[in-house]
């Protein structure tokens, strides 16, 4: 970054190691990986299939605790926590975009964003505030006026935009995405990554995404390439 402003670090992973049991033996999926992501920064994780990208994202997402190493998300320690504590950290600090938008076909875009509020039984003024937030986010992802539109009436690109807006409903400090453009064509992939870039800049979270598409790396502040569970040495922040 060229500015002198000190940017908050929203994700720190230090020397993380993840070993999966595999029959009678084990697979070392991460073998001492370190990574940090700051506010308004976009980080790409690249590497061949089986190199450990999804495992690294699962560690960042507080879905799994590493077998060793330190992980901090938005100032909170993740390593050494139990499932309940990690669920809270995810809810309070992390937005996650899946490869295939996991959206309810019969719901309209606004209700899609409000689904967890509906499940929690949010009502009245609080629900109206959440609905305003949903509409603001739909605006920001380029779907202003599409709140009543149902998922089956939307294109793949529009559904991915709903997916992004939904991930931002909890005001996360950290936005994680596992190959968010892999189901989209070239043009739409660029549009989605440019959108993530402007949301990252405007809303001030840190974005970390796995991608196979080297054509998308020009918008990134940092590219982390992993091979066999290790970060390849190379230029750090761009
Ligand atoms: P990538 O996302 O880069 O394809 P992964 O993180 O999914 O890589 O996998 C890294 C390594 O860990 C691979 O060898 C994979 O087979 C193994 N692995 C991933 N998940 C599990 C699991 N739940 N149990 C056992 N091995 C796993
Ligand atoms: Mg993967």
- Which atom of ligand 1 lies nearest, measured to the CA of 47? 3
Residue 56 has pLDDT above 80, yes or no: yes
Q: How far apart are CA 80 and CA 73, in angstroms?
A: 13
Q: Would you state the pLDDT for residue 159?
A: 93
Q: At 51, is the pLDDT very low, low, confident or very high (cuts 50, 70, 90)?
A: very high
109-121 mean pLDDT: 95
Dihedral sign, CA of 130, 135, 139, 143? positive
137-164 mean pLDDT: 95
Residues 57-74: tens digit of each pLDDT: 999 999 999 999 999 999
14-39 mean pLDDT: 96
Q: Would you state the pLDDT for residue 102?
A: 80
Q: Would you state the pLDDT for residue 101?
A: 75
Q: Output the CA 52–ligand 2 centroid distance in Å.
A: 7
Ligand with minimal distance to 45 CA: 1
Residues with CB under 6 A from ligand 1: 20, 22, 27, 29, 47, 49-55
Q: What is the DSSP string of 143-205?
A: -TT-TT-BGGGS-HHHHHHHHHHHHTTT--SEEEEESTTTTS-HHHHHHHHHHHHHHHHHH--
Percent of the chain scored above 90 by pLDDT?
A: 87
- State the chain's mean pLDDT as an integer: 93
Predicted TM-score (pTM) of this structure: 0.93
Residue 73: Cβ-neighbour burial (10 angstroms; 0-12, 13-18, 19+): buried
């Amino acid at each position: 970054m060229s500015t002198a402003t000190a940017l908050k670090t929203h994700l720190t992973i230090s020397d993380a190691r993840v070993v999966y049991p595999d029959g009678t033996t084990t697979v070392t999926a991460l073998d001492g990986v370190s990574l940090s992501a700051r506010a308004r920064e976009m980080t790409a994780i690249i590497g061949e299939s089986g190199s450990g990208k999804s495992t690294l994202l699962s560690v960042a997402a507080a879905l799994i605790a590493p077998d060793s190493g330190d992980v901090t998300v938005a100032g909170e320690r993740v390593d050494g926590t139990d499932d309940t504590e990690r669920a809270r950290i995810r809810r309070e600090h992390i937005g996650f975009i899946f490869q295939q938008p996991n959206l309810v076909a019969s719901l309209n875009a606004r209700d899609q964003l409000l689904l967890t509020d509906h499940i929690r039984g949010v009502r009245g003024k609080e629900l109206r505030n959440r609905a305003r937030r949903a509409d603001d986010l739909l605006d920001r992802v380029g779907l202003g006026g599409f709140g009543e539109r149902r998922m089956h009436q939307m294109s793949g690109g529009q559904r991915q935009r709903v997916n992004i807006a939904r991930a931002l409903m909890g005001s996360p400090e950290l936005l994680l995405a596992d190959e968010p453009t892999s189901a989209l064509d070239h043009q739409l992939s660029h549009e989605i990554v440019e959108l993530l870039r402007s949301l990252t800049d405007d809303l001030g979270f840190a974005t970390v995404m796995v991608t196979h598409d080297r054509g998308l790396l020009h918008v990134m502040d940092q590219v982390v390439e992993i091979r066999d569970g290790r970060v390849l040495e190379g230029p750090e922040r761009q």
